[in-house]
């Protein structure tokens, strides 16, 4: 049975159309995840026996490079998956996996691995041997620790760790010099390490729902930063040199403890979106009027005596977007 025959049989067993890409007669990409489907995972509600039958058929596609099984609640993968060793992109998110499947470590060329939303408590240290990885998604896990060796992943560009179970950044995070996107949060982290400033390629940074009160001065060394989400922390002040982030276009500081902004904030000449809602400002920071690129500004739920006037040409959210009276 060739790959085209296998895919035809798969379509019958899945009971729906799905993406399959061929290079010649070889199937090189397959996805059983469909955002247009009500359940997203096309075999999510098949029986366990039906799922295993379908997965065993997929294991025959030995030239697969891209495989997306997200949101199919698989529980476990068959032993036959050991034959899949040419993968470059693998998505196993929301598959009810309790450990990283053994076959993953056979894919030395893997560049993108999505393991988010699984009840995984322990990461196999062999994960750090996949040194071609550029994107690693480990969010919404139940991790009790993190293995050594993250710094071996020197090609890593994207690392998602929010709601991972971790209480602090893995210690080698800041030795991955190619990182351009990081997310972390929903944990009792109190201090953002000074080492964050080493990540000179960082463009997108998310730190949310923590106990962090200040950003280190080294945060201002992130000169490539384009957007940062820092909402629902306990940030009381921003670094004085925040204005040196000249590429910054978006910053969300919703629900922190800010009552003032540094004078250098006016130097953020590319800033387009700013969210200062639900902080402790008693008046509108004057530097806001000196941001030439600003297009959108949120300022609701601050203890100001009277609501600030809207700016001409600027979409300003000064009331709760979900309704309620103007601040006063």
Residue 264, token pair as written in the block: 């250098």
Dihedral sign for Cα atoms in the order 67, 69, 75, 80: negative
Give the per-residue SS3 of 92-151. Answer: CCCCCCCCCCHHHHHCCCCCEEECCCCCCCCCCHHHHHCCCCCEEECCCCCCCCCCCCHH
pLDDT at 297: 93
pLDDT at 324: 44
Residue 268, token pair as written in the block: 């953020």
pLDDT at 328: 27
- Rounded to the nearest 10 degrees, how much is the dihedral formed by the CA atoms of 120, 126, 128, 130? -110
CB neighbour list of residue 113: distance below 8 Å, 6 or more residues apart? 90, 92, 104, 130, 133, 135, 136, 137
Does the model's pTM come out above 0.85? yes
Main-chain dihedrals φ then ψ at residue 18, nearest 5 degrees:
-150, 165
Separation CA 58–CA 67 (nearest Å): 9
DSSP H/E element including 53? helix 48-58
pLDDT at 298: 93
pLDDT in tens, the chain (328 residues): 899 999 999 999 999 999 999 999 999 999 999 988 778 999 999 999 999 999 999 999 999 999 999 999 999 999 999 999 999 999 999 999 999 999 999 999 999 999 999 999 999 999 999 999 999 999 999 999 999 999 999 999 999 999 999 999 999 999 999 999 999 999 999 999 999 999 999 999 999 999 999 999 999 999 999 999 999 999 999 999 999 999 999 999 999 999 999 999 999 999 999 999 999 999 999 999 899 999 999 999 999 876 666 666 677 776 666 544 333 2
Q: Going from the N-terminus, what domains does the chain have, and what CATH number goes with each?
A: 189-328 (3.80.10.10)
Separation CA 321–CA 309 (nearest Å): 16
């Amino acid at each position: 049975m060739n790959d085209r025959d296998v895919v035809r049989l798969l379509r019958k067993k899945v009971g729906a159309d799905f993406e399959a890409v061929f290079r010649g007669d070889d199937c090189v990409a397959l996805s059983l995840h469909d955002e247009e489907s009500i359940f997203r995972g096309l075999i999510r509600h098949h029986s366990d026996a039906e799922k295993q039958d379908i997965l065993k058929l997929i294991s025959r596609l030995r030239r697969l490079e891209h495989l997306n099984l997200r949101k199919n609640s698989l529980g476990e993968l068959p032993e036959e998956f050991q034959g899949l060793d040419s993968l470059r992109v693998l998505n196993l998110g929301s598959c009810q996996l309790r450990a990283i499947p053994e076959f993953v470590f056979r894919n030395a060329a893997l560049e993108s691995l999505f393991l988010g939303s699984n009840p995984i408590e322990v990461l196999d240290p062999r994960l750090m041997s996949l040194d071609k990885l550029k994107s690693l998604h480990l969010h919404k896990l139940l991790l009790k620790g993190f293995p050594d060796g993250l710094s071996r992943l020197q090609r890593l560009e994207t690392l998602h760790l929010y709601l991972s179970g971790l209480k602090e950044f893995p210690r080698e995070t800041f030795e991955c010099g190619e990182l351009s996107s990081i997310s972390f949060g929903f944990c009792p982290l109190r201090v953002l390490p000074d080492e964050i400033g080493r990540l000179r390629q960082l463009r997108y940074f998310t730190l949310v729902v923590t106990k962090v009160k200040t950003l280190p001065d080294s945060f201002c060394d992130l000169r490539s930063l384009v957007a940062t989400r820092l909402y629902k922390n306990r940030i009381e002040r921003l670094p004085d040199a925040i204005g040196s982030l000249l590429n910054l276009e978006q910053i969300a500081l919703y629900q922190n403890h800010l009552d003032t902004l540094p004078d250098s904030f006016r130097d953020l000449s590319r800033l387009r979106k700013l969210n200062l809602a639900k902080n402790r400002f008693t008046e509108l920071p004057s530097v806001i009027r000196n941001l030439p690129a600003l297009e959108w500004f949120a300022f609701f739920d601050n203890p100001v005596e009277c609501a600030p006037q809207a700016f001409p040409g600027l979409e300003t959210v000064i009331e709760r977007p979900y309704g309620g009276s103007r601040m006063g």
